[in-house]
Amino acid sequence: MADDQRIFGGTGTDVFAGIPVSNFRASLDWYQRLFGTTPSFFPNETEAVWAIGDHRWVYIIVDPDRAGGAIQTIMCSDLEGIIEQISGRGLTFGAEEIPGEGVRKVMYYDPDGNEIGLGRIPAG
């Protein structure tokens, strides 16, 4: 993809994807089970941040007025393995899409109803 087809001309360096939640403790527990790890860091008492990869993070933040409206999708190279791991931690996905051959997305819903999708697209 050419830089002129990217936002800000391809100069963006980092992504913090936020998810508003109403109850920090309940959400922290749920996201730790979904992600399989404790947060990478806590910026303050109302936020928790997990690293997805270099320069990519997802975080929860207490914001009851906006809680429940987030939609995030994280693409995974081993979607089936990740689903199995998450299931072992007591969570199951609530919806699934298969829009094309080799393409799959499963959606998990946190206690506020925020949608966290995990997806796979074919290589190549």
Residue 123's pLDDT band (cuts 50, 70, 90): confident
71 touches 110 (CB < 8 A): no
The count of domains in the chain is: 1
- Which one-letter DSSP state was computed for residue 112? T
Place of tokens 């299931």: 87
Cβ-based neighbour number of residue 7 at 10 Å:
7
The CATH number of residue 36's host domain is: 3.10.180.10
Identify which of 109, 107, 93, 99 has the alpha carbon closest to the alpha carbon of residue 21: 109
Evaluate if pTM is beyond 0.85. Answer: yes
The residue segments making up the domain with residue 19 are 3-120
Distance (Å, whole) CA 114 – CA 21: 8
Task: Give residue-wise pLDDT tens across range 37-81.
Answer: 999 999 999 999 999 999 999 999 999 999 999 999 999 999 999
Cα separation, 41 vs 25, in Å, equals 15
